[in-house]
Structure 1
Amino acid sequence: MSKFSEVLTPDNAVLAMIDHQTGLLVSCADEHPLVVKNNIQGLCNMAKTLGLPSVVTASLADGPNGPIMPEITKILGDKVINREGEINAWHSSEFKSAIEATGRKKIIMAGIVTDVCLMFPALSAVEEGYDVYAVIDASATWNKTVQQASIHRLTQAGVKVTTWASVLAEIMSDWRSDKGMELGQVLADHTTSYNYVMNSYFARS
């Protein structure tokens, strides 16, 4: 089966959250910071609901980049791989080993900033045979021009550029699945429009 048609499942994917650090987030302007934060929380809560393995990493956490957003560690736990200096997280043996240890070849990946922290490890992982889903709306960068340039380069390399809600729907697959309603609630909690859908449903129940 082509990797372009094989879908995400709770058993074949790992979540990688790369450099979502407070010092980097404040400089991002391609989307409102509150929207980005909400999308990041939605993605993390999806992974927690499904019990997906997750790998969180930071670059120079004691320096200007700052620590990982507390919203992420609150959901996924306090384990963070603090890289010694590698800009490309894939060049960190600890990060790469953590991904390999899951035995999963599909990586749901998000990072700040998009054109460096997300793009470089995504390209490296694809080169080594991984199927990478770059969650563009749970990532952020300096402006829309940089975001668009990053999307072009990612897609040219075979990375699947996607959104967190699309990932959730793909991995849920069926509302009748064991986690269907829980995932629906995650979607409602982090998207205004679907919150109204769920409210309407429960009002009729």
Structure 2
Amino acid sequence: MPFKYNRLDKDKAAVLFIDHQAGLLSLVRDYSPDDFRNNLLALADITKFFKLPVILTTSFEQGPNGPMVPEIKNMFPDAPYFARPGQINAWDNEDFVKAVKATGRKQLIIAGIVTDVCVAFPTLSALEEGFEVFVVTDCSGTFNTSVRDSAWLRMQNAGAQLVNWFAVGSELQRDWRNDVQGFGKVLADHLPQYANLMQSYDSVQPKK
């Protein structure tokens, strides 16, 4: 069977931020704290730039997992928010699944903590129900790289696509001419190297 390249489409995709909680952040050891925070905020900025539907959820936030990272919650004040009372797999929460399906989107961009549980379990569940799942690898974290790699393999073997935040943004953008300044700013805000590129680009643009 020939390979079919299913691209992310801003009119078909929704973003699920799963269990990015203050307590769980301490478990992320496969990325540095600064890099992980930057990656997560980059994905959030991309989500806002393309006006994608967003769903937020936490697991047992009254316990050791803690509340959702306030920067993410504050960026999406109107997004559906589900503080799950105990379900480890977000897909076991009926209200969360109803909200996902209510978006009408069949492509799910998923990121969360920890990769092998909070990301993997709903990813496998969503794939089973016919969704296309794009796991944002550098916005999901876990205990170490060997645990991470095993989780990636499990999800990939089930049909998930593994992407980073930069690839998500680029695939949604499709063409620089759609908005070079707007998209370039998102990249420059999170990649110092890209800030240099945008400065060079701006310097040669005709003055208005």
Instruction: Classify the TM-score, shorter chain.
Output: over 0.9
TM-score (norm 1): 0.95
Give structure 1 regions of 4+ aligned residues with deviation exceeding 3 angstroms. Answer: none
**Does the 8 A contact of 1:172 with 1:180 survive in 2?**
no
Q: What 5-or-longer segments of structure 1 have no aligned partner?
A: none
Which of structures 1 and 2 has the bigger CA Rg? Answer: 2
Residue in 2 that maps onto 1:117? 118
Residue in 1 that maps onto 2:15? 15
The structure-2 alpha-carbon separation of the partners of 1:3 and 1:181, relative to structure 1 and needing over 3 Å to count, comes to farther
**Does the 8 A contact of 1:3 with 1:131 survive in 2?**
no
Letter in 1 for 2:151: S
Q: Distance in 2 between matches of 1:102 and 1:92?
A: 16
Q: How far off its partner does 1:7 sit?
A: 1.3
Residue in 2 that maps onto 1:61? 61
SS in 2 for 1:176: helix
Residue in 2 that maps onto 1:185? 185
1:30 is aligned to 2:30: yes
The structure-2 alpha-carbon separation of the partners of 1:118 and 1:3, relative to structure 1 and needing over 3 Å to count, comes to farther
Q: Residue by residue, what CA displacement relative to the aligned partner does 1:31-87 show, whole Å, maximum 9, x if unpaired?
A: 101111111101011111111100010001111001111110122226521001110
The 10-residue stretch of structure 1 (180-189 or 22-31) with the greater mean CA deviation from structure 2? 180-189
Residue in 2 that maps onto 1:85? 86
Residue in 1 that maps onto 2:197? 197
Q: Distance in 2 between matches of 1:4 and 1:16?
A: 24
Q: Distance in 2 between matches of 1:76 and 1:148?
A: 30
Q: How far off its partner does 1:193 sit?
A: 1.7
Q: Distance in 2 between matches of 1:15 and 1:132?
A: 10
Residue in 2 that maps onto 1:142? 143
Letter in 2 for 1:21: Q
Letter in 1 for 2:90: A
Residue in 2 that maps onto 1:133? 134
Q: Residue by residue, what CA displacement relative to the aligned partner does 1:131-166 show, whole Å, maximum 9, x if unpaired?
A: 000000011001111111111111111100110100
Q: Distance in 1 between matches of 2:6 and 2:97?
A: 23
Residue in 2 that maps onto 1:75? 75
Question: How many equivalent pairs are there?
Answer: 203
**Does the 8 A contact of 1:106 with 1:130 survive in 2?**
yes
SS in 2 for 1:148: helix
Q: Distance in 2 between matches of 1:144 and 1:199?
A: 35
Report the identity percentage: 42
SS in 2 for 1:22: coil
Residue in 1 that maps onto 2:177? 176
Letter in 2 for 1:191: L
Q: Residue by residue, what CA displacement relative to the aligned partner does 1:83-140 show, whole Å, maximum 9, x if unpaired?
A: 0111000111111111100101000000101010001000110011000000000110
The structure-2 alpha-carbon separation of the partners of 1:132 and 1:17, relative to structure 1 and needing over 3 Å to count, comes to same
